[in-house]
């Protein structure tokens, strides 16, 4: 079968012909219909985030159709539409028993530690596979498995309650979902901060108050809109030290900032005025949980989460085109989400 693989960091990804993966007793073989291209993939290619052992097939946002099931699989049949939770976990270690399987001591992420979905097929343990309702397209189902679910996890970690206000820094892949999910959670006001007018216009269509950070300080703009108070919850999904600090500075007393944008850089907080005095909380967000998937799928079925406008383009399983899409992500381009259709 065909697969787009990372052979070495800092090099272009390549198309390879590889063997079909073996299907264990508890595994589901999925024919990939759609696989998203995520900013993390650009980080794996650049070497900023380490992926491997290499070579590895990239792609961790996957939806498709069940091709074949292992002998012990009871919940799926060939032909089922499914989407894939990208973590493979043991279900038995300390962290799995807490329901925090992203820290599973033997956990692996598809498209990073083991082969992912930029390929004709992917094999997954049954426990990481979810039925995709007919109301949700393959494209949406795929993209939801990373950007939306991580946004959902960020809002859950930040304990956003109905009636509270929220600010989302960055209306890219994650931010598009974070804005809509904050609304779905019942947030009173949702501010969407970006410098790209197209992304701000999209956020406005989803009911957010656009904050253009290209001209003046977004924190001051948010304070002006909230009578000086600030927001209860902020979510940073860009991964820049400046926007991480803004996400803390825009908080109201007792506010919570969920930081989900990937970066290996340090960010500063003025300890007394920005953290201690308002009793602010800064919360790290990594991945998401299988238990969060059902609510996410429900929001999508109800139309509260609609990513059709966030998916800008689909591309074939072609290494040149995919490398080009990764280049665009490196440059923070206009496109919000590109998906691969093998
Ligand atoms: Zn992703
Ligand atoms: Zn585990």
Distance in Å, CA 111 to ligand 1 centroid: 9
Q: What is the mean pLDDT of residues 115-122?
A: 98
- Say yes or no to pLDDT of 176 above 80: yes
Q: 187-217, pLDDT tens digit by residue?
A: 999 999 999 999 999 999 999 999 999 989 9
Give the CATH fold of the 151-284 domain.
Answer: Rossmann fold (3.40.50)
What length is written for the chain?
342
Distance in Å, CA 230 to ligand 1 centroid: 30
pTM for this prediction: 0.87
Residue 166 tokens read as: 């929220």
Look up the CATH architecture of domain 2-137+308-340. Answer: Alpha-Beta Complex (3.90)
Domain ranges of the chain: 2-137+308-340, 151-284
Q: 287-332, pLDDT tens digit by residue?
A: 899 889 999 999 999 999 998 877 879 999 999 999 999 999 888 7
Sign of the torsion angle spanned by Cα atoms 87, 292, 230, 201: positive
pLDDT in the model for residue 79: 98
Least distant ligand from the CA of 101: 2
pLDDT band of 172, cuts 50, 70, 90: confident
- H-assigned helices in the chain: 39-46, 94-98, 138-143, 149-157, 173-184, 197-205, 218-225, 241-249, 293-301, 319-330
Least distant ligand from the CA of 262: 1
Distance in Å, CA 116 to ligand 2 centroid: 20
Distance in Å, CA 93 to ligand 1 centroid: 25
């Amino acid at each position: 079968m065909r697969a787009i693989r990372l052979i070495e960091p800092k090099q272009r990804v390549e198309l390879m012909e590889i063997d079909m993966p073996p299907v264990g007793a508890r595994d589901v073989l999925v024919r990939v219909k759609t696989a998203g291209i995520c900013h993390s993939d650009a980080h794996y290619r650049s070497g900023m985030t380490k992926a491997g052992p290499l070579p590895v097939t990239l792609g961790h946002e996957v939806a498709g159709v069940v091709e074949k099931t292992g002998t012990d699989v009871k919940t799926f049949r060939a032909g089922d539409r499914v989407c894939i939770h990208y973590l493979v976990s043991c279900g038995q270690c300390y962290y799995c028993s807490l329901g925090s399987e992203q820290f599973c001591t033997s956990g692996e992420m598809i498209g990073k530690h083991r082969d992912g979905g930029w390929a004709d097929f992917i094999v997954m343990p049954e426990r990481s596979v979810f039925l995709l309702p007919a109301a949700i397209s393959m494209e949406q189902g795929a993209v939801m498995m990373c950007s939306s679910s991580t946004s959902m996890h960020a809002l859950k970690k930040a304990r956003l309650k109905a009636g509270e206000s929220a600010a989302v820094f960055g209306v890219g892949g994650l931010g598009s979902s974070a804005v809509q999910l904050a609304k779905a959670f019942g947030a009173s006001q949702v501010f969407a901060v970006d410098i790209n007018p197209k992304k701000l216009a999209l956020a406005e269509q989803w009911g957010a108050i656009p904050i253009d950070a290209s001209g003046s300080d977004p924190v001051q703009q948010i304070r002006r809109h909230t009578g000086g108070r600030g927001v209860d919850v902020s979510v940073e999904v860009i991964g820049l030290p400046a926007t991480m600090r803004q996400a803390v500075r825009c908080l109201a007393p007792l506010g919570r900032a969920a930081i989900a944008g990937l970066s290996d850089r340090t960010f500063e907080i003025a300890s007394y005025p920005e953290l201690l005095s308002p009793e602010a909380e800064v919360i790290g967000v990594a991945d998401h949980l299988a238990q969060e998937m059902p609510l996410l799928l429900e929001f999508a079925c109800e139309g509260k989460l609609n990513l059709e406008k966030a998916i800008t383009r689909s591309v074939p399983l072609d290494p040149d085109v995919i490398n080009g899409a990764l280049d665009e992500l490196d440059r923070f381009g206009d496109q919000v989400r590109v998906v691969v259709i093998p």
